[in-house]
């Protein structure tokens, strides 16, 4: 059973001294402290990757704080879940969380519930915002593709067999999917005009 430490700073100009000192104070051997000097947004951090591969069942991973280990609550939960699945305990000194004791496990459950609540609240706000924008007539997503001036004339030539499909795309400068979308729209308008 080994105890591992992990510390991270966001840039190469920043120093790891304070975090490493906190970890060595816990009795972690310097060679067991893995480090990274890059943004927490990047999960492909060499030190973190090595830690996740090297830590074995019965080991413990200690970090100075959550913010040094993960970029977000979701990221933290994923990383801790990864360690727990391998039988590795996790301790965060600043937040006083230890997954080897019931209180630590409970705190992580609370974090997971808070994350889920935040996520659902954000999604609900997005849905409400989209609905409100649509009521105001705001177009969402990509701007609709404008129909080329020669579209109707080119379609007629193609339907009469005067030109091949490749030439249709060349003349209209459209992609196949866009052409068919505009063609459906054009035919729907034509049918509506004839039926009224």
Domain residue spans of the chain = 3-100, 151-195
Percent of the chain residues past pLDDT 90, beyond the cut: 33
User: pLDDT for 52-98, tens place per residue?
Assistant: 999 999 999 999 988 888 877 778 888 888 899 999 999 999 888 89
Whether 70 is catalytic is no
Residue with tokens 């990274």: 36
Q: Are 63 and 91 in contact (CB under 8 A)?
A: yes
Provide the CATH topology of domain 3-100.
Rossmann fold (3.40.50)
| Cα within 13 Å of Cα(95), Cβ side | 20
What pLDDT score does 144 carry? Answer: 65
User: pLDDT for 99-143, tens place per residue?
Assistant: 888 888 888 888 778 777 887 888 898 888 888 888 887 767 666
Give pTM, 2 decimals: 0.59
Q: Which of 10, 65, 67, 72 is catalytic?
A: 10
């Amino acid at each position: 059973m080994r105890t591992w430490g992990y510390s991270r700073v966001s840039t190469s100009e920043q120093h790891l001294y304070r975090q490493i000192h906190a970890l060595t104070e816990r009795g972690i051997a310097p060679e067991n402290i893995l480090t990274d000097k890059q943004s927490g947004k990047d999960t492909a951090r060499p030190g973190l990757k090595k830690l996740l591969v090297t830590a074995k069942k019965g080991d413990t991973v200690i970090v100075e704080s959550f913010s040094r280990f993960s970029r977000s609550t979701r990221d933290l939960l994923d990383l801790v879940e990864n360690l727990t699945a391998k039988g590795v305990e996790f301790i965060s000194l600043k937040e006083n969380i230890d997954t080897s004791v019931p209180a630590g496990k409970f705190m992580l459950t609370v974090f997971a519930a808070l994350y889920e609540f935040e996520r659902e609240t954000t999604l609900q706000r997005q849905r409400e915002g989209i609905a409100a924008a649509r009521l105001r007539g705001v177009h969402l997503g990509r701007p609709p593709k404008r129909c080329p001036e020669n579209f109707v004339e080119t379609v007629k030539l193609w339907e009469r067999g005067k030109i091949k499909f490749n030439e249709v795309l060349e003349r209209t400068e459209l992609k196949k999917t866009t052409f068919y979308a505009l063609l459906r729209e054009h035919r729907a308008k034509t049918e509506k005009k004839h039926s009224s």
